Amino acid sequence: MPSGEDKAASKRGKALAQRRAQILEAALECFLENGYHQTGVRDIAKKAGVSLGNLYNHFPGKHDVLAEIAALERLEMAPFLKTLAKPSPAPKVLEKFLTAYAEYVADPDTVILTLEISGEAIRKPDIAAMFMENRDQLAAALTAVLKRGIAEGDLRRLPNPQETAQLIIEATEGSAYRCVLSNVPMRKVMKGLWDFVSAAVLAH
């Protein structure tokens, strides 16, 4: 059985994790409400209900908050990677992925955070690398589906499956941003998006 010291250490660890999550949630809310550059660490501490010193114990600065958001995004990519790894026929996997990913990226909060993070990532190469690693992982999984579909005869031969995978992701994200800006539900453009993708990759 765990000793008293082990139980106390476990309790402290859970408390620290909860406080860290509390601060991160506050930071996300601040970024959504005011933008990344308009948010200071004092704003985050106030929103989280912690002292500035307590915040610095968990995150030395906003840069470290973005690194944590990158790690969370990696977790959010897991369901899409799982979908792309299924052994179902490639067209079916592709359509299921497209529908789920479009719904995810069309969330207004996701769009706002993506734009805020992208602006900072352009200025900070290390931040860009963190988020591009997540993007590259998703593109690689989609590329594998395209290659499998080509080998099985369900998809037409593509000059560059890797580039096609990137374009599919970009078309999906672009459609999602347009829907948010135009206040149009993503489901209303899904058929057009799928028609576009299927025309590009399905065997005829």
Q: What is the pLDDT confidence band of residue 1, given thresholds at 50, 70 and 90?
A: low
3-state secondary structure of 41: helix
- Domain(s) labelled CATH 1.10.10.60 in the chain stretch across 1-60
Tokens of 153: 């005869």
Q: What is the pLDDT confidence band of residue 12, given thresholds at 50, 70 and 90?
A: low
What amino acid is encoded at 129 in this protein?
A: A
Residue range 144-196, pLDDT digits in tens: 999 999 999 999 999 999 999 999 999 999 999 999 989 998 988 999 999 99
Which class in CATH covers the domain with range 1-60? Answer: mainly alpha
Among 55-64, 92-101, 195-204, the range scoring the smallest mean pLDDT is 55-64
According to the model, what pLDDT value does residue 128 have? 85
Closest listed residue to residue 130, CA positions, set 39, 66, 49, 202: 66
Please give the model's pTM, rounded to 2 decimal places. Answer: 0.83
- Domain(s) labelled CATH 1.10.357 in the chain stretch across 67-201
Full DSSP string of the chain:
---HHHHHHHHHHHHHHHHHHHHHHHHHHHHHHH-STT--HHHHHHHHT--HHHHHHH-SSHHHHHHHHHHHHHHHHHHHHHHHT--S-HHHHHHHHHHHHHHHHTSHHHHHHHHHHHHHHHH-HHHHHHHHHHHHHHHHHHHHHHHHHHHHTSB---S-HHHHHHHHHHHHHHHHHHHHHHT--THHHHHHHHHHHHHHHB--
Tokens of 11: 């309790």
Neighbours of 159 (CB within 10 A): 6
Which class in CATH covers the domain with range 67-201? Answer: mainly alpha
